[in-house]
């Protein structure tokens, strides 16, 4: 099974693609970020995000997606922009007929480290170990997306 993990953002959306087969360790197929241009209008940025996601989905042909749920407590303006990006992400996955499983940041941390309050570096180190990577994936948004993909694989019990 190929799982696409997505860490939503307006300027930067992280994605990670893993392959999971029963009885085998998960394998990292790809990870990176979709970046949008600050000089573009909000609508153009959302269109760039959609085009980037559709490209990733066409290239890797995932069977399912794990998407991080929005969490914000202070900056409503940032939260609204990320909500718009999540809308584009959900629309893009629907267009690709991709089932989506959503996870809170603490659910992702719990799945990857066993601790829902784990630090970012603890999550990154566990992603590196679980996927047997030579180094911690960079940038942070891509590492978070891989963690979301791992959480999805555990949720679906495909290990």
- Provide DSSP, 27-83: EEEEEEEEE--TTS-HHHHHHHHHHHHHHHHHHH--SEEEEEPP--SS-HHHHHHHH
Q: 55 or 78: which carries more pLDDT confidence?
A: 55
Q: Are strands 2-7 and 64-68 parallel, antiparallel or unpaired?
A: parallel
What pTM did the predictor assign?
Answer: 0.94
Residue pair 8/80 in contact by the 8 Å Cβ criterion: no
- Owner of token pair 């959306």: 13
**Which sequence positions are flagged as catalytic?**
7, 68, 141
Q: Which residues contact 134 (CB under 8 A, 6 or more apart)?
A: none
Q: Which CATH number characterizes residue 98's domain?
A: 3.30.420.10
Band (79; pLDDT cuts 50, 70, 90): confident
**Model confidence over 26-48: pLDDT tens digits?**
999 999 999 999 999 999 999 99
What residue numbers bound the domain in which 55 lies?
2-156
Mean pLDDT, rounded, for 15-34? 96
Q: How many domains does the chain have?
A: 1
Q: What percent of the chain has pLDDT over 70?
A: 94
Q: Is 16 helix (H, G, I), strand (E, B) or coil?
A: strand
Residue 142 DSSP one-character state: H
Band (77; pLDDT cuts 50, 70, 90): low
């Amino acid at each position: 099974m190929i799982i696409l993990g997505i860490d939503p953002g307006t300027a930067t959306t992280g994605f990670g693609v893993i392959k999971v087969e029963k009885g085998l360790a998960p394998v990292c197929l790809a990870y990176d970020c979709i970046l949008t241009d600050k000089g573009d209008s909000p609508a153009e940025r959302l269109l760039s995000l959609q085009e980037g996601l559709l490209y990733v989905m066409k290239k890797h042909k995932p069977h399912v997606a794990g998407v991080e749920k929005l969490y914000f407590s202070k900056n409503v303006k940032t939260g609204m922009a990320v909500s718009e990006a999540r809308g584009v992400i959900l629309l893009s996955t629907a267009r690709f007929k991709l089932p989506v499983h959503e996870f809170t940041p603490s659910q992702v941390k719990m799945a990857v480290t066993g601790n829902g309050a784990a630090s970012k570096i603890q999550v990154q180190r566990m992603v590196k170990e679980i996927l047997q990577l030579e180094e911690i994936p960079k940038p942070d948004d891509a590492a978070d997306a891989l963690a979301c993909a791992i959480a999805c694989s555990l949720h679906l019990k495909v290990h």
